[in-house]
Amino acid sequence: MHAPRHAQAKNDPPNQDDHRARPEARPPRPRELGLRRLQSLLLFLVLRHALVQGFDVCCCRGRTGAASKAKTKAKRGRAASDEEDEDEEPDAKKAKTGQNGASDDKSGGASQKADPPAKMVTVVKRGAAPVDPCSGWGGMSSSAAVSAFKAQFKAKAAVNWEQRHGMVAKKGKYQWIGQDSPGCMKGKRILTFNVLSERVFEDEKPEDNAGPSGSGSSKKDVEPEKIPDSTLPQEIQALCRLMFSAKLIDATLSSMNYDANKLPLGKLAKSTILNGFAALKTLSEVISQPDGDTSRQHGGYRSAVEELTGRYYSIIPHVFGRNRPTTIDSLPLLKKELELVDALGDMEVASKLITSTVPKDANGKPLNPLDQNFLSLRLSSMDPIARDSKEFGALETYTRETHGATHRHYQVQVLNAFRVERQDETDAWMRAGNDKLADGERLLLWHGSRILSQGLRIAPPEAPVTGYMFGKGVYFADMMSKSANYCHAYLSDNTGILLLCEVAAKPFYEQHAANYNADQDCKAARARCTKGLGRTQPAEWQDAGAALENDALSGCHMPKGPGQDVQGIQGYLQYNEYIVYDTSQIRVRYLLMVKMN
């Protein structure tokens, strides 16, 4: 038992009833220090426990006696009377405290827990509980979220959310790009870049092997089906691995700065591709006529190309990293983007065929993925050509002799060659009467492309004509290396695909310079094909049927020998180009898998 504190204070002032009397300061005794440390430790532990648990806690400030209170006041040296009044206690309670100080010291902790005083300090731990009623933080109602979104939309676009359709773009503000097709309303919409874009995704389809909703089944419970061996020849298997390579598709998209994370190929709708063409078409009007009406409507040339570039990027997302997005303000940049949008259609089809699920045949039996990929090409026949045959040798000769002198920085080696026929092309060819053309009016010409899963196609009406030197059509060459440059073989271990096509070409509509309306002019001239005249041309032509020992090509001509410079031609082109505007004039005859070293 401790002695009463008032008995120990022998040097206290005589007037002990005056609570304002200030005793002389003296060093605290060891027992007092121990008690204070115990109180501080207890207070710290209680606060720590309360903070961890996230509850409101009441921390009481107790007193152990008048003498202790007086010594504390002396040590702190209080000067303000309002602080003293705040801690003032009734005289009766102080007398009781003075008589029973030792007892209070011993049982102070228990009395605090049993009967906490009215004076307390509240400590609130914010964020620990799901909802903190004291701070105002917590969940937001759906109506409040919608209101906040609409307010943000109006701040960005300067129009109300309900008035976004048909809105007129305001300078410096975002613009909503809507879709008019009925199916678009089923899609998802994303807002990106510097315009508000309504980008359409194709409806998601549930996976075939996914269990019904709520059934409790999962993919892990289903045993993987055994994939049968491919029934295709090894040469065709190698070709399918190249054409339907996910690595090739990713590399192609990356080289074009396409952002497949924002808009995966599997979610890409055809309407989105057409909208991309339409955006580039508007850009081409500004680039070709900087002072035209379209430029003036958008505040001048520079403002127009920046705004329309942003609109295009909102439809066809790009990746620029830390670099500033490239403004499409020239024909070369426009042509590059046209190649991207044009290639997206082929890659979108190819990507859908590259799935993790095992394909099935008509009877529901598992099918090798390579076989499924081959079937998607819709070829009625594809036969590998023996390397020791005269036909293969003639194809190698045609490849070697039509390698342009300006393209000698690389060599081309024929790895595999295939005879190809697509029934749809044959039917269209026959309906057009192209099988009855006179000898020499059909030519066996080269065509190169990135990915050829859909056959040869002509750019849609939405595409601008200024991106195509001789209008929107299918382009061919009589020099192999000119077409090989469009294969972009560096993306696939320097392996590319070249086509040899039978083309109903003559009579020609010859041009020396670019003509963006050549498709209309060619038709008006009653010609079948536009021929862009190059400075280097084949010196001779020969019958392809005889040279290749392929009777189906009798009457179709192909170059004989290397190209030669032609005097008197001052055109822009180094080599000839042939452009047709109707796919019924085309039949794919050979497919060559080549290595470019």
- Could you give the residue numbers annotated as active site? 577
CA distance 78 to 89: 17
CA 69 from chain centre, in angstroms, equals 71
- DSSP letter, residue 335: H
Amino acid at 518: A
Q: Given phi > 0 = left and psi -120 to 50 = alpha, else beta, which region is 24? A: beta
Half-sphere exposure of 291 (CA within 13 A, CB side): 0
Helix axes 270-288, 331-353, angle to 10 degrees: 170
CA distance 271 to 260: 17
CA distance 583 to 474: 8
Q: Which helix (H) or strand (E) holds 531?
A: strand 529-532
Distances (CA, A) of 238 to 25, 309, 365, 588: 98, 40, 24, 20
The CA-to-CA distance between both ends of the chain, in Å, stands at 100
Distances (CA, A) of 197 to 200, 268, 313, 314: 9, 14, 9, 6
Q: Which residues contact 49 (CB under 8 A, 6 or more apart)?
A: 57
CA distance 207 to 211: 9
Nearest CA-CA partner of 242 in 80, 101, 377, 41? 377
CA 178-183-187 angle, to 5 degrees, is: 70
CA distance 249 to 230: 23
CA distance 489 to 407: 14
Residue pair 529/502 in contact by the 8 Å Cβ criterion = no
- Classify 564 as helix, strand or coil: strand
- Classify 568 as helix, strand or coil: coil
Nearest CA-CA partner of 418 in 441, 442, 386? 386
CA distance 488 to 451: 10
Residue pair 412/489 in contact by the 8 Å Cβ criterion = no
